[in-house]
Homo-oligomer: A and B are copies of this chain.
Amino acid sequence: MRKVIVDINGGDNPPSEIINGAIDAVNRRDDLIVILAGQEKVINDTLANLAYPSDRVETLFCEQIVTNEDSPTSVLKQKKESSLIKGMQLLSNRDDIDGIICVGNTGAVLVSATFIVGRVNKCRPTLATKLPNSKGGYSILVDCGANVDCKEEHLIGFAHMGLEYAKALNISDNPKVALLSNGSEEKKGNELVKNTHQLLKEMQDINFVGNVEGSNCLSGNCDVIVSDGFAGNILLKNVEGTAKMIIKQMIAEVNNATDESEAKAIKKLIKRLMDKFDFNSQGGAIILGVNKLVLKAHGVADRTTISASIDMVCSLAENKLIDSIKASI
Contacts and interface: CB of A to CB of B under 8 A. Distances in A.
A269 to B, nearest CB: 6
Contact of A249 (B233, B268, B276): B276
Contact of A248 (B134, B235, B261, B268): B134
A243 B242 contact: yes
Contacts of A190: 148-149, 228, 230
Contacts of A182: 145, 148, 229-230, 233-234, 237
6 contacts: A214-B237, A214-B240, A230-B231, A242-B242, A246-B273, A269-B269
Interface of A: 133-134, 145, 148-149, 180-183, 189-191, 193, 213-219, 228-231, 233-246, 248-250, 253, 256-257, 261-262, 265-266, 268-269, 272-273, 276-277
Nearest to A228: B190
A238 B261 contact: no
A235 to B, nearest CB: 6
Nearest to A263: B265
A234 B213 contact: yes
A202 to B, nearest CB: 23
A182 B217 CA distance: 18
Please give me the 9 A-B residue pairs with the lowest Cβ-Cβ distance, nearest first: A214-B237, A214-B238, A265-B265, A215-B241, A182-B233, A215-B237, A214-B234, A242-B242, A148-B190
Contacts of A134: 245, 248-249
Contacts of A219: 241, 245
A104 to B, nearest CB: 15
Contacts of A191: 149
A129 to B, nearest CB: 13
